[in-house]
Amino acid sequence: MITHFIFHSKKQLKKGKHVLPLRTSRHTMHKDILQILVTESEIAQLAQKLGQKINEDYHDKHPILIGLLKGCVPFLSDLSRHIDLKVDMAYMSVSSYHGGIKSSGDVNIKMDLDISVHGRHVLIVEDIVDTGNTIVTIVELLKHRGALSVEIVTLLDKPEGRTKPYVPKYVGKTIPKLFVVGYGLDYEEYYRNLPYVGVLKPEVYSTKEND
C-alpha cells in the first residue's frame, strides 16, 4: 500500500488543521500481461525505421497521415517525429471490435475526416492490421473519394488473423495470432497506456467471452 500526503501551507498548519494521508493501491495493470511481445525500445526503433522509409518514398508527395482512433495515438505520435516532411494529419474513428477480442466483421465509422483526400497521397496509420476488415473498407472508401494512392503503415501485422486478403506496405513487426494489448491496443478500453505491447492473460477475458 502506497501512502501519499497532502502538504498544507504553514499558515494552515499553525492553525492546527489536521493533515490526513490519501491511501491508494498500487496499479496492477502489468500483472494482467502474460508476456511482453514488443518492448519500449523495440517500438522506438521500429518507429524510426518506418519514418525513414516514409521520408524516402514520400519526399515529393505531401501526404496526408490518417490515424485510426483510438489505437493509433501512441504510434502516430512517435512515428510522425521521424517523418521530416510537410504532412497533413487527420483522424477517423472506426471500429469493428466493439471492445471485445474478436472482430464483428461490421465496420462502423464513428467519426469521419475533416479534410478532403481528393488528389492526395494518403498514409493510414494503424496500431495493428488483424482481420483486414477495417483496412480494406477504409482503403476502398478513400480511393472512391479520389485519393491518388492509399497505403498502410502499421506497427504490427497479424496475417494469421486475416478474413480479408490485404498486405500492408509498411510493417513494423509481424506477430502470431495472439490477443495483444498496450501501446494503443485495448481490451474493453483498458491497457492502451501500457508502454509496450504484451499478450493479455486469457483468464482476463475468457470468463466474459464465454458468458
Domains and CATH numbers, the chain: 41-173 (3.40.50.2020)
pLDDT value of residue 208:
59
Confidence of residue 25 (pLDDT cuts 50, 70, 90): very low
Residue 190 gets which letter from DSSP? Answer: B
Q: Are 199 and 178 in contact (CB under 8 A)?
A: yes
> Is pLDDT above 50 for 197?
yes
**What cell does 56 get?**
524516402
Whose CA is closest to 177, among 102, 94, 74?
Answer: 102
The pTM is what? 0.80
Residue of 78, 130, 157, 186 marked catalytic: 130
> Is pLDDT above 70 for 201?
yes
Region label for 196, one of left (φ > 0), alpha (ψ between -120 and 50) or beta (otherwise) = beta
Q: Is 130 a catalytic residue?
A: yes
On the question of a cis peptide bond just before residue 173, with omega within 30 degrees of 0, the verdict is: no
> Is pLDDT above 70 for 57?
yes
Residue 145 gets which letter from DSSP? Answer: T
**Cα–Cα distance, 198 to 201 (Å, whole number):** 9
Of 207 and 43, the one with more pLDDT = 43
